[in-house]
Amino acid sequence: MKSAAFLLGATILLSACGGDQPASAVAPSTATSTATKRPDFSGVWMLQATRDWGLIGLPSGPEFGNIGASLPGATLPYQPWAAAYVEETKANGRSLDPLSHCFAIGPVRSHAVTFYREIVQLPNKIVFLNEYNSSYRQVFTDGRPVPDDFVPSLNGYSTGTWQGDVLVIETTGFLDGALWLDNNGSPLTDAARITERFRRPSVERLEIELTVDDPKAYTAPWTVTLHQNLVPNVELLEATCSEEQLREHLANSYQ
């Protein structure tokens, strides 16, 4: 597979695809871990694109612009202040978008952004390596509780448990108001609990059922399902974010 790379600024490479590698360099992950008989999510993944344009002109899906695109009316159940915030965001050209300022984008948006992502599944931990801004996220699967002294963060604190062949990830502890869930500016607060249910219906497909329960920002919990495809024989590239040029691309992308 050919890589799509963009030179942002004089020396900054911001890629949305990994580099070509020999077929033997990165073997496709098998669908099942032989040691545990649970699905093995290890591998490089990319969203299942349904549009020809999106972030920096690359194939994307409607959830990048509106995470609630598949919901009735394509509308999230915003609290009044959150609905007003989204309208204000559209009016000001998304100038406060955390992504356009090269900040971490959190677990929800990382499922819909147009960059490769590698999942590394270990016995007691799952690590997400994001090509976007060369960032990472870790999910603890060793049964630990959320620590009492956890400091709120952009990714929150994630723990995972298995329900049969489904990996269920619960995340809390977000910084208040620091994340957008989509290009529309749908907010997330410190009251949020995000539940992700990962399934691997086939070797080459990943299904992520995502539930956001944030009573400060939404009148009811809501659930969407996202799909990603395995990308074999690819390695992640270092992708350093260029704030000025990424903001320009976002301002011109779809809603």
60 or 230, higher pLDDT: 230
Task: State the pTM of this model.
Answer: 0.83
**pLDDT of amino acid 30:** 55
Enumerate domains of the chain plus CATH numbers: 5-252 (2.40.128.20)
Burial of 106 (0-12, 13-18, 19+ CB in 10 A): buried
Average pLDDT over every residue of 93-118:
87
Give the number of residues written for the chain: 255
Read off the pLDDT of residues 38-61 as tens digits, 9 standing for 90 and up: 999 999 999 887 765 555 556 678
Q: Which residues contact 219 (CB under 8 A, 6 or more apart)?
A: 77, 78, 79
Residue with token string 């269920």: 168
Distance from C-alpha of 54 to C-alpha of 240, rounded to nearest angstrom: 19
Average pLDDT over every residue of 182-197:
96
**pLDDT of amino acid 243:** 60
Average pLDDT over every residue of 126-137:
92
Distance from C-alpha of 177 to C-alpha of 7, rounded to nearest angstrom: 31
Question: How many other CB atoms are there within 10 angstroms of residue 74's CB atom?
Answer: 11
Distance from C-alpha of 107 to C-alpha of 209, rounded to nearest angstrom: 12
